[in-house]
Structure 1
Amino acid sequence: MSIDLPFVTKVFSALFAIMNPIANVPVFLSLTEGASDAVRRRVAATAALGTTIGCLISIMGGQAVLDAFGLSVDDFRLAGGLIVLTIALSMLQGSSSQTHGRTPKEKKDTADAESVAIYPLTIPLLVGPGTIATLIVYGHAAEAKDKWPELAIGVGAFLALLTVALLSAPWLGRHLSATATAITRRLMGMILAAVAMEMIVTSLRNLFPGLSH
């Protein structure tokens, strides 16, 4: 059985752009400021596990959620595309998207470092509306085109990279400059904008077949 590498790359690139491990390293360090490396590793492991579970739920249970609300995948693809585009535009402007929950300042001064592993680090920082929308769309595409192995490879490869990035955050924080982070955020914003436009155009073509002509 041949593997559709373009689909694997598309899934990996979309998740990398929307969750952006490199740009989120400073956020992780900010949320766990003052914690020991051991505590930070526990937070990273918990966040990685939570993100994995969130991704699996979005992929496997996404269609059931749509059916419960009487929505089609194209309805959700269009809405998801708009959400992802909003996130991409904020990244291109060098700011954090409120839509995707990139709000490290929400941490309270008295909060224990480990308490941020699930909220806000996992939800909604990593597994936010944009991530959920993207995974539901790709999950539907994998089911329709029998590309489950490709989806598993793409998602698995990204989650492995995310886990390594979070566990390496203390070391990366000492070597990643603010300029490098800003450049990465804008580059990922461009990729994410392209993914969003593909989602929007595809949904519009399916909802309004006349547009294809």
Structure 2
Amino acid sequence: MTELLSFAATVFVGFFAIMNPIANTPIFLGLTHGIEPAEKRKIAIQSNFLAFVIVSLFCLLGHVIFSLFGITLPAFRIAGGILVFLIGKDMLSGNNSELHTPSVEDNQRSLDHPHVSIAISPLAVPILGGPGTIATAMNFATGKGIPEVIICITVFGVLCGISCLFFLSGERFLHYIGESAVKVISRMMGLILAVIGTQLVIQGVYGASKLNL
């Protein structure tokens, strides 16, 4: 039980850092500026639900995906670790990662095409359930038992709920803590992600050294 609680805490910190609902809130507010409150609430709920479904599928189908493409867990940990490290490095530098955050041009294209809901793109993918989040989820869930997979999905669901609350109360929250606090928190999350990415690479290299290829 203690090991599962420790694993759940690690997963929560990892997901919170990669999702970073505090830093994503200004993006959500910018994308939904001028939209009616009821529609804004709908977009917040839909985007987080879609992200939850996408990441949960990767958690559940990790073994199938690895077998289908002939991928080993150490190789995925090394690649995923590098990806997470790069996102963390950009956040630590105070920059938006191109791997995790859509560009201004991408955001504008989403707004210029109302038939494509911004709940799907760019909010659900890549902001909430992008490559970094998927890599983190699969690294946590793949190669583990059923309890660990359930914990990963449950914790991510909790984070999606937290993210949705941040989106819905974003204006009041940002007014309360200020823009400077958001930048400080984002850099702290970046440091955590850089460490997680480094740890994943170490685990991947160690696991690869034991493979008989």
Under a length normalisation based on structure 2, what TM-score does the superposition of the two structures give?
0.89
Give runs of aligned pairs for residues 79-118 of structure 1, distance below 5 A.
79-108=79-108, 110-112=112-114, 115-118=117-120
Task: Give 2:137's match in structure 1, choosing from 124, 135, 138.
Answer: 135
Q: Distance in 2 between matches of 1:114 and 1:195?
A: 34
Match of 1:126 in 2: 128
Give runs of aligned pairs for residues 184-195 of structure 1, distance below 5 A.
184-195=185-196
Q: Tell me, yes or no, if structure 1 residue 8 matches structure 2 residue 8.
A: yes
Match of 2:47 in 1: 47
Match of 1:205 in 2: 206
Q: Distance in 2 between matches of 1:67 and 1:209?
A: 19
Give the counterpart letter for 2:196 in structure 1: V
Q: Distance in 1 between matches of 2:139 and 2:28?
A: 28
Cα drift, residue 160 of structure 1: 2.3
Cα drift, residue 65 of structure 1: 1.3
Q: Tell me, yes or no, if structure 1 residue 27 matches structure 2 residue 37.
A: no
Alignment partner of 1:142: what SS?
coil
CA contact (8 A) 1:42 1:114 kept: no
| Matched positions, count | 209
Cα-to-partner distance string for 1:148-201 (whole Å, 9 max, x where unaligned): 453344323322212222222243243341101100110000111111111110
CA contact (8 A) 1:22 1:165 kept: yes
Give the counterpart letter for 1:184 in structure 2: I
Describe the shift of the 1:70–1:139 C-alpha distance in structure 2 as closer, same or farther (beyond 3 A).
same
Cα-to-partner distance string for 1:62-102 (whole Å, 9 max, x where unaligned): 22112111111111111000000000000001010001234
Gaps of 5+ in 1: none
Q: Distance in 1 between matches of 2:167 and 2:112?
A: 23
Runs of 4 or more off by more than 6 Å in structure 1? none
CA contact (8 A) 1:32 1:113 kept: no
Cα-to-partner distance string for 1:102-158 (whole Å, 9 max, x where unaligned): 435422253449821110111011111111111111111432x85345334432332
Give the counterpart letter for 1:160 in structure 2: G
Give runs of aligned pairs for residues 168-179 of structure 1, distance below 5 A.
168-179=169-180
CA contact (8 A) 1:5 1:150 kept: no
CA contact (8 A) 2:56 2:153 kept: no
Moved more, 78-87 or 171-180: 171-180
Give the counterpart letter for 1:96 in structure 2: N
Under a length normalisation based on structure 1, what TM-score does the superposition of the two structures give?
0.89
